[in-house]
Amino acid sequence: MPQLMPSVKVLRLLPKWLLLLGLLASCSSTNSNAPVNLKAGLPVGAILSLTGNANVYGQDQRIGLELAQAAFKPGSSIPLNLSIEDGGSDEAGAINAFNLLINRGSAALIGPTLSQQAFAASPIAQRRGVPVVAPSNTATGIPELGNFISRVSAQSLVIAPLSIAKALQLNPAIKRVAVFYANDDAYSTSETAIFQKAIKAKALNTVTVQRTQLNDQDFLNQITSALRAKPDMVVLSLQAVDGGNLIRQLRELGFKGTIVVGNGMNTPNIYPICQKNCDGILIAQAYSPELQTDANRSFVARFKAQQAGAVPPQLTAQAYAAYQVIAEATERQNKRQPLEAKPLREVRILLNEEILRGTYNTPLGKISFSPEGEVIQESFFVAQVRMNPDGRSGKFTLLP
Amino acid sequence: MIDISLFVLMLLGALLALAVYLPLRAGQLSLATPGFYTIGGTVAALLSTQLPGLGGSDAVYPLTSLLLEMIVAIAVAGLLAFLIGKPVLKLRGIYLAIATIALVEILRVVLLSSPWFGAAVGIFAIPQPFEGPEGYLIAYGLLLAIVAWACARLERQPLGMAMAAIRDDELAARCMGVSTDQVKLIAFVLSAIVAAAAGVLAAHYFNSWNARQANFDASITTLAFVVLGGSRTWLGPVIGGLVLTALPELLRPIGDLRLIVFGLVILLGPIFIPQGLIKSKQS
């Protein structure tokens, strides 16, 4: 039997480990009383889910930030020096990335991608007085984490009921509704609760609620049992891939009624999945590429130029808007009171106040913030998908 | 660039590694650690947010309530491990691993499908017993010190020797009069207790808790801690947990490559140092 290492020896080694850890720790932490470092522009950090199961969202957001950088850096008196860090798809990853960027002297942060990450990581920024603009946290209670936390992503609470109302307007005969959602997905679960409330408020009859899983491919069981209840309308709270598959199977199994989908499917990535079956679905949008404003036209043009003519998804537009909010607030603040040589801590406080004070013409439309940091967005959209005859590409057509 | 909060996560990694190490010391490859970790976290999240009597609405959550949560979590996880361990530990090797993966999966589905446990959204706004990460560092440091000390003691006790004997040769151990079923069960229950205690602190530290904490990835990551650190003495998993939690952060300067390098370390570690970083001396 092996003789085990005597713990005395371990204890003798312990100081060495502690010394090593101490050394590693000592090379961190910018002093927040030191003046802000503007050599390469105002340091701003972004925490995106570039790895893990939310990486698709993070990649969309990265494109938005890069486009925003290209759009706002030239001609700015105080450009932002953006560094993007991977926050993974879990709480620990976001905490690490937040700390890293705050220690590196970021004046403001963009992120994290997931609401759950925000609940764990944003309080760190709040504690240390660093403004955070969240580009994609839609859960209830995010701006309430503190006065330094704001978001440009509207809650599902505001958007979801609009599409139900529109569906009824288009077809007042709708009475029976079937609801689908992925019960292992935080977004789906919280949005479906809002949908179901909206359905009840319109005095419609929810005939069945079907649960799916985020990684499901085959929905035969759920669809056949839903169709047995003879719904006039189906309401989906799903993400692009599972939602797209479900719509295709739903139509193939003979459902002819109205399909309403949630904000999770507001991406052109659904076209290749449900193809011609996407046609006619109703969707509530926090961002529409069809919005005819200067800000949106220029954003869409930039995106198309970079992505070979593709149409930008909502997450990209929201990330772009988050960057724009910080860039414009910095510019205004610097004009009013130059940030040069001011201590980092003060810059963060001033910037936070300026962010909340302003109004911004973003691709999302005109937005501003409530005193808590909740986004006040002027325009939400209900669109209907119109597929082209090739069945591979299509368009979200805005409904009046 | 290392921050205090990374140290907290490193200590958490070390604790979870010890939880994997305990059954492994008795030769049992159990991947149920994240399951018991999640149970601990869920108990803490529910108690602190649902029972106003514990002081969840106070500015600073009382430490006595934290201690109470820990006792409840340990009791729940320990009891569950005891009840499940009896039938499950009859399985050996890879079959035991599969059964424990299934256990974690069942737990995940149960948490997801019951609104009472927060379903997919999870439980938010868990009250904070400490102002900042420093408090958690001390709490985790204490917990790790206690568990590590207990493990070090255990290794020199008859029970620890019996565990090692089962690992080396279960049949021989049984012939020598070691009550193998009982020893394995004790190791399994101890592992559950350590994981649950770590989970209680983690729920407060993360401020939110959800079923995604219990997944197959977490099982494998914690196992990697022990494989890289070494499974012969308690120090191995501790070092493995600390190093492997810190490594992805230390590798940040190399950008997108960091997870590839991290993967390579996990891959090459067992090839070049099959016994792990910390080896035991042969007598």
Q: pLDDT tens-digit profile of A193-237?
A: 899 999 999 999 999 999 998 888 899 999 999 999 999 999 999
In a domain, B138, yes or no: yes
Query: Is it true that the peptide bond before A112 is cis, omega within 30 degrees of 0?
Result: yes
Query: Strand, helix or coil at B92?
Result: coil
The number of residues in chain A equals 400
Give B64: exposed, middle or buried? Use CB within 10 Å, 0-12, 13-18, 19+: exposed
User: Is residue A23 over pLDDT 60?
Assistant: no
In a domain, B164, yes or no: yes
Closest-CA residue of B relative to A83 is B255
Domain A157-285+381-398 has CATH 3.40.50.2300: yes
Closest chain B C-alpha to A156 CA, distance in angstroms: 14
A120: chain B residues, CB-CB within 8 Å: 206-208
- Beta bridge mates, A77: none
B125: chain A residues, CB-CB within 8 Å: 119, 141
Which of A243, A124, A267 lies closest to A185, judged by CA? A243
Q: Which two tokens stand for residue A11?
A: 């204890």
Residue A287: DSSP 8-state: -
Closest chain A C-alpha to B280 CA, distance in angstroms: 5
Which of A281, A286, A283, A272 lies closest to A314, judged by CA? A286
How many Cβ pairs closer than 8 A exist between chain A and B?
Answer: 111
Q: What is the DSSP string of A69-101?
A: HHHHSTT-SS-EEEEEEE-TTSHHHHHHHHHHH
Q: Which two tokens stand for residue A198?
A: 């909206």
Which of A205, A201, A152 lies closest to A323, judged by CA? A152
Phi/psi at A379 (5° precision)? -125, 130
Residue A186 to residue B121, Cβ atoms within 8 A: yes
pLDDT at A69: 94
In a domain, B263, yes or no: no
Closest chain A C-alpha to B278 CA, distance in angstroms: 9
Taking each helix axis from N to C end, the angle separating B93-113 and B216-229, rounded to the nearest 10 degrees, works out to 140
A104: chain B residues, CB-CB within 8 Å: 1
| Number of domains within chain B | 1
Cβ atoms of residues A350 and A333 within 8 Å:
yes
Which of B25, B1, B17, B33 lies closest to B242, judged by CA? B17
Of A135-139, B136-140, B162-166, the least confident: A135-139
Cβ atoms of residues A153 and A82 within 8 Å:
no
pLDDT at A6: 47
User: Is residue A12 over pLDDT 70?
Assistant: no
What residue segments make up the domains of chain A, in order of their start? 42-154+295-369, 157-285+381-398
Residue A183 to residue B210, Cβ atoms within 8 A: no
Greater model confidence, A26 or B275: B275
B3: chain A residues, CB-CB within 8 Å: 25, 28-29, 96, 99-100, 103
Percent of chain A topping pLDDT 70: 92
Q: Give the model confidence (pLDDT) of B92-123 as tens digits.
A: 888 999 999 999 999 988 888 888 887 777 88
In a domain, B146, yes or no: yes
Q: Give the model confidence (pLDDT) of B43-74 as tens digits.
A: 999 999 888 888 777 778 889 999 999 999 99
In a domain, B237, yes or no: no
Q: Sheet holding A149-151: strands in order across? A: A80-86, A42-48, A108-110, A132-134, A149-151
Closest-CA residue of A relative to B246 is A96
B5: chain A residues, CB-CB within 8 Å: 95-96, 99, 124
In a domain, B156, yes or no: yes
Q: Where are the beta strands (DSSP E) in chain A?
A: 42-48, 80-86, 108-110, 132-134, 149-151, 176-182, 205-212, 233-237, 258-261, 282-285, 359-362, 365-369, 375-377, 381-387, 394-398
User: What's the CATH number for A42-154+295-369?
Assistant: 3.40.50.2300
Residue B120 to residue A103, Cβ atoms within 8 A: no
User: Does A42-154+295-369 match A157-285+381-398 in CATH topology?
Assistant: yes
CA A391 to chain centre: 28
Q: Which two tokens stand for residue A136?
A: 């994609």
CA gap A365, A116 in Å, rounded: 27
Closest-CA residue of A relative to B13 is A92
B211: chain A residues, CB-CB within 8 Å: 184
Q: Give the model confidence (pLDDT) of A43-83 as tens digits.
A: 999 999 998 878 888 999 999 999 999 999 888 889 999 99
Give the Cβ contact number of residue A170 at 10 Å: 13
Residue B98: give the domain boundaries. Answer: 4-215
Residue B233 to residue A5, Cβ atoms within 8 A: yes
Closest chain A C-alpha to B95 CA, distance in angstroms: 26
